[in-house]
Amino acid sequence: MVWLASPDAGRGAVVVDGQDVHEGAHAVTMKTILVHLADDADCAGRLRAALAFARHFGAHVSGVYTSPRPEPPPVLLGRGASLGFVDEAAALLRKHAAASESMFRKSCDAENVPHDWRHELGDPTDSLARRLHYADVAFVSQSAPNAVKAAALLYLPDHLAMMADGPVVVMPHGAPPRSLGHVVLIGWKPCREAGRAVRDALPVLAAADRVAILTVGKGEELRESGAALAARLNRQGIAAEPHHRDAADNEAAAALLDEAGRMEADLVVMGAYGRSRLSELVLGGVTRHTLAAMRVPVLMSH
């Protein structure tokens, strides 16, 4: 699937496979898009999604490629052997970094998107969290199923949402979606994390063709909170439709993804980790289950 923008599209429109998915000017916008670059199978699709966002918002794209610090394995004995291993490993890392930079710059130049590229040593999550101080949104990818090596060498995407001070768009593993931000579903509950996610997503919500709000749980107060959020967004010129499902808390993630599929949403907006991450890992949670089963991009904020 090819993401592209054409000069004859509507002003400010992202064009995916020749179709406009956004139109109009926005008072609030995104001007710096951060994208995680790595040697994984999803990198090209992740970059195409970031470039589509950049074309739409007239934004700059910052690519960050990280490498582990080369260290000799414990089995190597002797200073000479250790130095030789480190030199060889460093050369290989530079080769991979150069290939990443070439791919990134060619892709940005082809879309006429202003950009910069950085190569950093160390933990990717730390690097991306630092760089997100100076960006409006970061693009990462869902961890591949059973990808222990990828998880160790790259990062788990939920880690970045927990550490960063800005929104993170997690792209689903596999083929990139046909569109992004055309039909948006907000997973809502009246809490700090969800409120932050909605505020962070306002430029995307303002550009969307359709916005829906889903509350899941028991009680009239929760249902009313969705209607209150819709009224707030409507006053900002964003036509949002409130929906509610009467279900148990442990069914919230399944209900959210089911509703996203039913309305053919191409972006879900939600808060990340209302509970501590340890509680999420032990007890499960909406964030963890959504990341595991997602089939559409998810914009998360903590």
| CB atoms near residue 207 (< 10 Å) | 26
pLDDT for 287: 74
Q: Answer with the residue of higher pLDDT: 61 or 157.
A: 61
Half-sphere exposure of 88 (CA within 13 A, CB side): 8
Q: For 164-194, what is each residue's pLDDT tens digit?
A: 889 999 999 887 777 899 999 999 999 999 9
With 60 as the cut, is the pLDDT of residue 277 above it? no
* Ranges 3-17, 89-103, 115-129, 160-174: which has the least confidence: 3-17
pLDDT for 70: 61
Q: For 244-253, what is each residue's pLDDT tens digit?
A: 999 887 788 8
With 90 as the cut, is the pLDDT of residue 136 above it? yes
Domains present along the chain, CATH in parentheses: 23-171 (3.40.50.620), 183-301 (3.40.50.620)
Residue type, 39: D
Is the distance from CB of 280 to CB of 287 less than 8 angstroms? yes
Whether the CA torsion 148, 266, 25, 46 is positive or negative: it is: positive
With 60 as the cut, is the pLDDT of residue 55 above it? yes
Q: For 72-87, what is each residue's pLDDT tens digit?
A: 555 555 554 555 656 6
119 vs 146: CA distance, rounded Å: 27
What percentage of the chain carries pLDDT values higher than 70? Answer: 75
SS3 labels along 68-125: CCCCCCCCCCCHHHHHHHHHHHHHHHHHHHHHHHHHHHHHHHHCCCCEEEEEEECCHH
* Ranges 135-139, 224-228, 278-282, 284-288: which has the least confidence: 278-282
pLDDT for 72: 58
* Ranges 39-43, 193-197, 273-277: which has the least confidence: 273-277
Q: Answer with the residue of higher pLDDT: 117 or 85.
A: 117
CA 199 to chain CA centroid, Å, is 15
Q: 274 is written with which tokens?
A: 């209302």
Q: For 19-34, what is each residue's pLDDT tens digit?
A: 444 444 345 689 999 9
Whether the CA torsion 299, 183, 30, 120 is positive or negative: it is: positive
Whether the CA torsion 168, 174, 175, 178 is positive or negative: it is: negative
pLDDT for 58: 94
What percentage of the chain carries pLDDT values higher than 90? Answer: 54
pLDDT for 129: 93
The pTM (predicted TM-score) of the whole model is: 0.82
Mean pLDDT of 286-297: 81
> Across all residues in the chain, what is the average pLDDT?
81
pLDDT for 147: 54
